[in-house]
Amino acid sequence: MAQVNLFLVGAMRAGSTSVATWLAAHPQIFVGPIKEPNHFIVQLPKALYEPDPRFSLETYFEKEFPKPLHIAHVVAPVDYEKLYQNVDREQRFLLDASAAYLAYPEAPSRIHAYNPSAKILVILRNPMERMISHYKMNVGLGKEKRTFQQIVREELAHYQNGTLRWYDYMAMSFYDAGLEGFKQYFKEVMVLNFDDLKKNNPHIISKQVGSFLKIDFEDLESIGHYNASHHVRLKSILRSGRHTWIKSVFSKNLSSALKRRVFRVFITKNEKAVSLDLLTQEHLQRVFREHSSVYWSQETYKIR
């Protein structure tokens, strides 16, 4: 059985879905039906993944596989292997794009124990922007009721007393420890900058990734923007008992394109304003400068 040998490990909310979708279009790269299986995370917290109560991974593998899923927690090795069983001979790379791996402290050692020869891809985004995007996603999902200022103050307090959890908003914007862990365990680690993805300069990204993987990306289209959170939020609305009429209309009568247009009406009303007082903002920026210094270092983005 072929092993997964390419890991896109995050950061979360830094364009990993767009990059994974782009990579999947290459004939030599296979992305499993579950983009983020999170196999190497022992306990995946509800803050990062809380499936519909009706969802069963066992049922998925028995009756629905290989239906595409964005995220799941695939614990059993036999299930993880099954995700990558339908690989063609020319597909040299099997990709796991679980974006929480960068923040999870045990991910580098656990992935190394599985495949020490794997290649690691990382995307870094401005830590403050990443945190805000993460917050907005959870607001859109209906999972977050606090203001951004409340969250920052609470997490700064946890940071100061040593109780900040690896999956908290702020901690997931700490890049230094995670990147150092992967560089410690793996010889081949490449870091992309989210700003290059936003500019959509296909030549820069194609050249970098092509050189790293030693494959040709010239005939591939540029990386598009795919916001997975909109898709997830749509599913959460359809599951909600408060919107049974929406569920009926969406499920039976509307095309995919029209569903997206109608859905925008619901999500635009659900965005909280993101603001911080100046002192709190400066404090947070100092913390990010200390724990995400790699983001601002040009040495970070050189291919190893």
Q: Are residues 251 and 112 in the same domain?
A: no
Work out the mean pLDDT of the chain and round it to a whole number: 86
pLDDT of the residue at 218: 72
Burial class (CB in 10 A: 0-12, 13-18, 19+), 247: middle
pLDDT of the residue at 259: 44
Indicate whether 178 pLDDT > 90.
yes
Q: What is the 3-state secondary structure (H, E, C) of 173-241?
A: HCCHHHHHHHHHHCCCEEEEEHHHHHHCCHHHHHHHHHHHHCCCCCCCCCCCCCCHHHHHHHHHHHHCH
Instruction: Compute the average pLDDT of residues 133-156.
Output: 96
More confident residue, 76 or 238: 76
Q: Are residues 261 and 181 in the same domain?
A: no
Q: Are residues 93 and 210 in the same domain?
A: yes
Indicate whether 98 pLDDT > 70.
yes
Q: Is residue 209 part of a domain?
A: yes
Q: Are residues 213 and 245 in the same domain?
A: no
Q: Are residues 59 and 207 in the same domain?
A: yes
- Per-position DSSP letters for 251-268, written without gaps between them: HHT--HHHHHHHHHHHHH
Q: Are residues 178 and 253 in the same domain?
A: no
Q: Round to the nearest angstrom and report the end-to-end CA distance of the chain.
A: 28
Looking at residue 60, the DSSP 8-state letter turns out to be: I
Task: Dihedral sign for Cα 255, 261, 266, 271, please.
Answer: positive
Indicate whether 85 pLDDT > 80.
yes
| pTM attached to this predicted model | 0.85
Domains identified in the chain, total number: 2
Q: Are residues 32 and 56 in the same domain?
A: yes
Dist CA 54 CA 48 (whole Å)? 18
Q: Which of 172-176, 212-216, 235-239, 286-290 has the lowest mean pLDDT?
A: 235-239
pLDDT of the residue at 227: 57
Indicate whether 252 pLDDT > 70.
no
3's tokens: 């092993």
Dist CA 143 CA 137 (whole Å)? 9
Dist CA 3 CA 83 (whole Å)? 11
Q: Is residue 285 part of a domain?
A: no
Query: Which backbone phi and psi does 34 adopt, to 5 degrees?
Result: -105, 110
Q: Are residues 185 and 268 in the same domain?
A: no
Dist CA 202 CA 224 (whole Å)? 10
Dist CA 47 CA 168 (whole Å)? 8
Q: Write the Ramachandran bin of 38: left for phi over 0, alpha for psi from -120 to 50, otherwise beta.
A: left
Q: CB within 8 A of 153, min separation 6: which ones?
A: 280
Domain that holds residue 208: 6-127+166-226+293-301
pLDDT of the residue at 88: 93
Q: Are residues 254 and 220 in the same domain?
A: no
Residue type, position 15, single letter: G
166's tokens: 């690896």
Dist CA 207 CA 203 (whole Å)? 6
Per-residue pLDDT tens over the stretch 7-64: 999 999 999 999 999 999 999 999 999 999 999 999 999 999 999 999 999 999 999 9
Q: Are residues 236 and 182 in the same domain?
A: no
